């Protein structure tokens, strides 16, 4: 066949995870090939191997009929393979042209003199070929994200890229910018460039992709013709049968008492009119794809980010939360998905971390710490939460991910919080420790704590939640009870882009979005 | 038609470029003017030919040091060793000329090389041993201070200054006046010309050569620069070596000015140099900075010191005011960035 790229039997393991398992992918010249899958399906990992960012453990890559090794990004570029990463790799202080030619500057006369006129002209030629109106002399910092992406594309083209990999290129773009991006993608495709398009936005693929390959749990699931395959089929391929199907272990039904109510929460583009209730003893799952706005909602409730509008009620009383301090005072604790950055003082010991959020309770006059009481409290939670640590004096950075998570829980319990927001509570935690975290969450719920659990792992959401709220692009697109929830239904809500819900409403959707 | 469109966008962007790039310089330059006018009004002794020349002369050493530091700070690094490396370079120059009797040009070369080697070591320690710049150059600062004391101790049995008694022409390198010999009414010492010459060279390196380009790129986004295939470690090393060369030049200038190498001098100079760079609008977080800004920053500091002295403000209070100015300058810069 006329395969430009063929990847076969690719394996890649990261500590604790088999990221890719016999993964397969092929790309033809002159096609846009979409690569889709749930979070953690291995799409980005597979493409980073092709782009030389990661090295594969085993498997083979065939490029233009020849087996190749791609040890680093430079080697990929030399082969004509360029990847545009989700987080753009540009130097904001340099101009557009300087960015395009960084590391390969044409020089004049003495070999250390720059020739900026030449790179400006060459960059202009590239832009002309792309029919793109952009001044090569503007500083990248002054460009929109969309324009910065165009600069990355131009940079890739200047390497004579034959393969262009784009990781979630439309995540930060407006509708008009997406149209511009698609125009350029089609242009490149018609010129014979093979384009890999990683995206969560399934509706979008209908417009731009020729073929769609689905991955799940690091494996290849299948490839379909983008024009004919129904979206439902793609979703069911993405979800599939879960490998670690386990019996839901829901604690008994929560009471009807509402402990937290959020009404009409708005924040810029990321939170749009979010309202929900959380009941006593309930685990409320928040499902959605990356960037759906779940973490943003949590941070807004916790006072970590300012909100534009919206009301928050705790135990039926309206509260003002402007700062995490206010949230803690009202009994709300937030357990960040990035424990190491936001949850723990890594180089401090277990005891200090447990009392960190409520230090003032352990102070004697003159600000002297009552160490007897901090030790007592630390000891209490180490036992109550079964924190596996050799001693209270162990530094938390030496503990495993699951144990660290328990230390954070201990911290919030010490601070007397009864509403706990867990953001990806089992991320980076190995399978054995995961079930311990699940038990802990269930125990907390049974004791009358109310829990919001944000998770991108559908099996986890289904197994743990009494109710599930699904978000997409800053909105709540659906709410499901534990009984009615299935992976398919969650995915359907999670990919429901407002503008593309259905043609009848689409017009109204667009215009109201523009007004808002 | 396409060209007309292109030129229209060019004009537009050129204007925004001018606005953003020039704003900081205007701010610092405006402050310099305001301070100048203020002192001229309150003291009749300030705006005189000799005093202004005095300010220019007083800027020379700090200015040259600050030029080198500008490159390092643009990479988001720091160099604390420039002050004592300057002293060490002054000492090696003095030993070469006054003790070994080498010809003056060779002696100057020894001084420049001393600084260059110290900077090279800084660069290697930072880029190869992965020691943070603050620590690496703090170590170099202490080592250079020690070596500047060790040398006279080893040569003369005691720590004492080395004088250029047999080569009066060495002093003329900075204190003579080429301009004055042409225009007798303007006896500007050569040290000032050396500063401006060095600034021109620095500006050329920063804006027209690959070294300057990579300094900005590294400071702007080091990881992206590395992923673009640039050998970041080597270029960083070169940038610290360049900074060291400027310290060496400052060493030669101060030795010539004082007609001696003073082994105990130099501590604290690094902070003045960093202050000048920061006042001049170079961002400590890297990626932006200009030589003109640094030059203005250095002049602003010596103008302030000079004016306050003329007003009879005690030296200790001069330090307080200068410190406050540094904070104010950076705060204004933060406000300007936020407003953009």
Q: Mean pLDDT throughout B215-229?
A: 88
Is A299 in the same domain as A180? no
How far apart are the C-alpha atoms of B297 and B281, rounded to whole Å?
8
- Assess whether pLDDT exceeds 70 at residue B271: yes
State phi, psi for A101 to the nearest 5 degrees: -105, 15
- Assess whether pLDDT exceeds 50 at residue B5: no
CA atoms within 13 A on the CB side of A298: 26
How far apart are the C-alpha atoms of A515 and B305, rounded to whole Å?
57
Q: What is the pLDDT of residues A429-438, one digit of tens each?
A: 666 677 788 8
A49, two tokens: 């191997």
| Contact residues, A window 261-290, toward B, CB-based 8 Å cutoff | none
State phi, psi for A317 to the nearest 5 degrees: -105, 135
Task: Report the relative pairing of strands A475-481 and A467-472 from DSSP bridges.
Answer: antiparallel
Strands of A309-314's sheet, edge to edge? A271-279, A258-267, A309-314, A317-319
For B221, the closest of A73, A77, A92 (CB atoms) is: A92
Is A25 in the same domain as A143? no
pLDDT at res. A132: 83
Q: Is A26 on the interface with B (CB under 8 A)?
A: no
Maximum CA pair distance of chain B?
79
Is A59 in the same domain as A72? yes
Instruction: Say yes or no for a CB contact (<8 Å) between B213 and A107.
Output: no
The answer to the question of residue B58 being in a domain is yes
- Assess whether pLDDT exceeds 60 at residue B311: yes
Calculate the average pLDDT of chain B. Answer: 89
The answer to the question of residue B1 being in a domain is no
Distance from CA of B8 to the nearest CA of A (A): 10
Q: Mean pLDDT throughout B104-116?
A: 97
- Assess whether pLDDT exceeds 50 at residue A20: yes
Is A141 in the same domain as A167? no
The domain total for chain A is 3
Q: Measured between beta carbons, which residues in chain B are less than 8 angstroms from residue A98? A: 213, 217
Helix%, strand%, coil% for chain A, nearest 5 = 40, 25, 35
B88, two tokens: 């060490």
How far apart are the C-alpha atoms of A201 and B116, rounded to whole Å?
56
Is A45 in the same domain as A189? yes
Q: Is B7 on the interface with A (CB under 8 A)?
A: no
pLDDT at res. A154: 87
- Assess whether pLDDT exceeds 90 at residue A196: yes
The answer to the question of residue A248 being in a domain is no
B5 vs A81, residue with greater confidence = A81
pLDDT grade, residue B12 (50/70/90)? very low
Q: Mean pLDDT throughout B146-174?
A: 93
DSSP 3-state of A264: strand
How far apart are the C-alpha atoms of B60 and B188, rounded to whole Å?
12
Distance linking the first and last C-alpha atoms of chain A:
50
The domain total for chain B is 1
How far apart are the C-alpha atoms of B239 and A192, rounded to whole Å?
43
CATH number for A470: 3.40.50.300
Is A387 in the same domain as A411? yes
State percent of chain B over pLDDT 70.
91
The answer to the question of residue A477 being in a domain is yes
Last residue of a domain, one of A218, A241, A264: A241
Distance from CA of B98 to the nearest CA of A (A): 37
The answer to the question of residue B310 being in a domain is yes
Distance from CA of A309 to the nearest CA of B (A): 24
pLDDT at res. B14: 45
B176, two tokens: 């003579």
B221 → chain A, closest CA residue: A91
- Assess whether pLDDT exceeds 90 at residue A3: no
CATH number for B88: 1.10.3470
Instruction: Say yes or no for a CB contact (<8 Å) between B225 and A139.
Output: no
The answer to the question of residue B32 being in a domain is yes
Instruction: Say yes or no for a CB contact (<8 Å) between B213 and A124.
Output: no
Weakest mean pLDDT among A287-296, B87-96, B200-209: A287-296
Instruction: Say yes or no for a CB contact (<8 Å) between A93 and B16.
Output: no
For B230, the closest of A77, A103, A128 (CB atoms) is: A103
Is A357 in the same domain as A432? yes
B207 → chain A, closest CA residue: A114
Weakest mean pLDDT among A39-43, A482-486, B24-28, B278-282: B24-28
The answer to the question of residue B164 being in a domain is yes
- Of B131, B111, B107, which is closest to residue B121 (Cα–Cα)? B131
Q: What is the pLDDT of residues A163-191, one digit of tens each?
A: 999 988 877 677 778 888 899 899 999 99
Instruction: Say yes or no for a CB contact (<8 Å) between A142 and B16.
Output: yes
The answer to the question of residue A388 being in a domain is yes
pLDDT at res. B23: 61
How far apart are the C-alpha atoms of B31 and B19, rounded to whole Å?
18
Instruction: Say yes or no for a CB contact (<8 Å) between A135 and B20.
Output: no
- Assess whether pLDDT exceeds 90 at residue B111: yes
Q: Mean pLDDT throughout A101-121?
A: 83
pLDDT at res. A504: 39
How far apart are the C-alpha atoms of A127 and A131, rounded to whole Å?
6
Q: Is A112 on the interface with B (CB under 8 A)?
A: yes
pLDDT grade, residue A365 (50/70/90)? confident
How far apart are the C-alpha atoms of A13 and B88, rounded to whole Å?
53
The answer to the question of residue A268 being in a domain is no
- Of B65, B106, B108, which is closest to residue B85 (Cα–Cα)? B65
Contact present, B279 and A85 (Cβ < 8 Å): no
User: Where in the sequence is the domain holding A21, given as residue range(s)?
Assistant: 1-80+162-241
User: What's the DSSP call for residue B287?
Assistant: S
Task: Report the relative pairing of strands A419-423 and A368-369 from DSSP bridges.
Answer: unpaired
Is A108 in the same domain as A150? yes
Q: Mean pLDDT throughout A108-126?
A: 86
The answer to the question of residue A252 being in a domain is no
How far apart are the C-alpha atoms of A144 and A74, rounded to whole Å?
27
For A139, the closest of B17, B211, B213 (CB atoms) is: B17
Residue tagged 């990781």 (tokens): A167
Contact present, A501 and A475 (Cβ < 8 Å): no
Residue A25 C-alpha from the chain's centroid: 23
Distance from CA of A52 to the nearest CA of B (A): 11
Distance from CA of B211 to the nearest CA of A (A): 7
Q: Which helix (H) or strand (E) holds A369?
A: strand A368-369
- Among A54, A72, A91, which would you mutate to test the B interface (most chain B Cβ atoms within 10 Å of its Cβ)? A91
Residue tagged 């901090």 (tokens): A374
- Assess whether pLDDT exceeds 90 at residue A251: no
Is A138 in the same domain as A200? no
For B227, the closest of A73, A124, A142 (CB atoms) is: A73
- Assess whether pLDDT exceeds 60 at residue A2: yes
State percent of chain B over pLDDT 90.
72
How far apart are the C-alpha atoms of A89 and A433, rounded to whole Å?
36
User: Where in the sequence is the domain holding B48, given as residue range(s)?
Assistant: 24-339
Q: Mean pLDDT throughout B7-35?
A: 61
- Assess whether pLDDT exceeds 80 at residue A400: no
The angle, 0 to 180 degrees and rounded to 10, between the axes of the packed helices A371-384 and A401-414 is 120
What is the complex's ipTM, to 2 decimals?
0.80
The answer to the question of residue B168 being in a domain is yes
pLDDT grade, residue A249 (50/70/90)? low
C-alpha pair distances (Å), B223 with each of A354, B4, B220, B282: 36, 38, 9, 21
Is A379 in the same domain as A234? no
Is A412 in the same domain as A281? yes
pLDDT at res. B209: 92
C-alpha pair distances (Å), B132 with each of B207, B235, B277: 26, 16, 20
Weakest mean pLDDT among A25-34, A503-512, B17-26: A503-512
pLDDT at res. B256: 96
How far apart are the C-alpha atoms of A470 and A202, rounded to whole Å?
16
State phi, psi for B164 to the nearest 5 degrees: -95, 60
Is A71 in the same domain as A102? no
pLDDT grade, residue B21 (50/70/90)? low
Q: Which of A437-441, A442-446, B46-50, B67-71 has the highest mean pLDDT?
A: B67-71
A113 → chain B, closest CA residue: B209
How far apart are the C-alpha atoms of B120 and B140, rounded to whole Å?
11
The answer to the question of residue B2 being in a domain is no
Q: Which of A131-135, A301-305, B72-76, B308-312 has the highest mean pLDDT?
A: B72-76
Q: Compute the count of residue pairs across chains A and B with CB atoms less than 8 Å apart.
A: 75
Sorted by sequence, the CB contacts under 8 Å of residue B11 that are 6+ apart come out as none
The answer to the question of residue A263 being in a domain is no
The answer to the question of residue B331 being in a domain is yes
| Contact residues, B window 153-192, toward A, CB-based 8 Å cutoff | none
User: What's the DSSP call for residue B236?
Assistant: H
pLDDT grade, residue B17 (50/70/90)? very low
């Amino acid at each position: 066949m006329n395969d430009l790229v063929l990847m076969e039997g690719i394996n890649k393991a990261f500590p604790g995870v088999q990221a890719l398992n016999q993964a397969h992918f092929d790309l033809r010249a002159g096609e846009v090939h979409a690569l889709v899958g749930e979070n953690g399906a291995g799409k980005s990992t597979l493409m980073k191997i092709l782009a030389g960012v990661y090295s594969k453990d085993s498997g083979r890559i065939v490029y233009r009929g020849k087996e190749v090794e791609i040890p680093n990004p430079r080697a990929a570029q030399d082969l004509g393979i360029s990847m545009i990463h989700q987080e753009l790799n540009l130097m904001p202080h340099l101009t557009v042209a300087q960015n395009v030619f960084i590391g390969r500057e044409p020089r004049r006369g003495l070999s250390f003199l720059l020739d900026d006129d030449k790179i400006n002209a060459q960059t202009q030629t590239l832009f002309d070929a792309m029919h793109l109106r952009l001044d090569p002399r503007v500083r990248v910092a002054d460009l929109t994200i969309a324009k910065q992406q165009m600069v990355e594309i131009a940079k890739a083209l200047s390497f004579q890229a034959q393969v262009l990999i784009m990781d979630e290129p439309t995540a930060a773009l407006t509708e008009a910018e997406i149209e511009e991006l698609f125009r350029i993608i089609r242009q490149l495709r018609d010129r014979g460039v093979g384009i890999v398009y990683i995206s969560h936005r399934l509706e979008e693929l209908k417009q731009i992709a020729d073929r769609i390959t689905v991955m799940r749990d690091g494996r290849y699931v299948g490839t379909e013709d983008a024009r004919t395959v129904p979206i439902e089929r793609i979703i069911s391929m993405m979800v599939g049968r879960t490998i670690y199907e386990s019996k839901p272990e829901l604690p008994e039904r929560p009471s009807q008492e509402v402990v937290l109510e959020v009404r009409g929460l708005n924040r810029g583009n990321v939170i749009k009119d979010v309202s929900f209730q959380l009941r006593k003893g309930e685990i409320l799952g928040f499902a959605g794809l990356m960037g759906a706005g779940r973490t943003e909602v949590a941070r807004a409730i916790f006072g970590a980010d300012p909100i534009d509008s919206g009301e928050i009620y705790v135990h039926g009383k309206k509260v003002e939360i402007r700062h995490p301090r206010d949230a803690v005072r009202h009994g709300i604790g937030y357990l960040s998905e990035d424990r190491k950055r936001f949850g723990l003082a890594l180089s401090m010991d277990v005891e200090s971390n447990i009392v960190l959020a409520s230090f003032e309770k352990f102070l004697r006059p003159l600000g002297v710490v009552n160490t007897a009481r901090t030790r007592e409290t630390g000891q209490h939670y180490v036992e109550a939460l079964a924190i596996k640590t050799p001693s209270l004096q162990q530094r938390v950075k030496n503990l495993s991910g699951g144990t660290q998570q328990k230390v954070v829980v201990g911290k919030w319990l010490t601070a007397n919080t009864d509403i706990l927001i867990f953001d990806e509570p089992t991320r980076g935690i190995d399978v054995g420790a995961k079930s311990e975290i699940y038990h802990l969450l269930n125990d907390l719920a049974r004791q009358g704590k109310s829990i919001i659990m944000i998770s991108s792992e559908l099996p986890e959401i289904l197994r743990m939640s009494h109710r599930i709220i699904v978000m997409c692009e800053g909105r709540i697109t659906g709410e499901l009870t534990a009984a009615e929830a299935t992976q398919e239904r969650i995915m359907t809500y999670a990919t429901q882009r407002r503008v593309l819900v259905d043609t009848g409403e689409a017009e109204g959707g667009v215009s109201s979005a523009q007004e808002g | 038609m396409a060209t007309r469109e292109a030129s229209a966008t060019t004009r537009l962007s050129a204007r925004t470029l001018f606005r953003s790039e020039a704003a900081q310089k205007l701010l610092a330059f405006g402050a310099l003017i305001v301070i100048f006018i203020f002192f001229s009004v309150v003291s009749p002794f300030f705006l005189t030919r000799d005093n202004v020349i005095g300010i220019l002369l007083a800027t020379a050493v700090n200015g040259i040091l600050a030029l080198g530091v500008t490159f390092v700070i643009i990479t988001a690094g720091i160099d604390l060793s420039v002050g004592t490396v300057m002293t060490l370079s002054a000492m090696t120059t003095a030993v070469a000329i006054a003790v070994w009797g080498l010809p003056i040009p060779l002696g100057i070369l020894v001084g420049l090389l001393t600084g260059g080697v110290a900077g090279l070591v800084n660069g290697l320690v930072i880029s190869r041993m992965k020691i943070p710049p603050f620590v690496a150059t703090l170590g170099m600062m202490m080592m250079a201070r020690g070596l500047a004391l060790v040398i006279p101790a080893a040569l003369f049995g005691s720590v004492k200054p080395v004088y250029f008694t047999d080569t009066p022409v060495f002093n003329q390198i900075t204190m003579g006046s080429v301009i004055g010999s042409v225009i007798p009414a303007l006896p500007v010492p050569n040290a000032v010309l050396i500063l401006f010459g060095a600034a021109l060279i620095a500006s050329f390196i920063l804006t027209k050569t690959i070294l300057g380009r990579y300094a900005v790129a590294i400071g702007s986004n080091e990881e992206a620069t590395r992923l673009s295939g640039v050998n970041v470690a080597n270029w960083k090393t070169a940038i610290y070596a360049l900074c060291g060369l400027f310290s060496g030049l400052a060493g030669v200038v101060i030795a010539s000015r004082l007609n001696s190498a003073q082994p105990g001098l130099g501590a604290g100079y690094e902070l003045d140099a960093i202050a000048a760079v920061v006042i001049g609008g170079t961002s400590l977080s890297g990626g932006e900075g200009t030589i003109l800004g640094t030059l203005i920053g250095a002049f602003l500091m010596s103008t302030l010191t000079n004016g306050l002295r003329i007003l009879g403000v005690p030296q200790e209070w001069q330090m307080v005011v200068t410190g406050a100015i540094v904070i104010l300058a950076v705060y204004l810069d933060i406000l300007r960035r936020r407003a953009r």
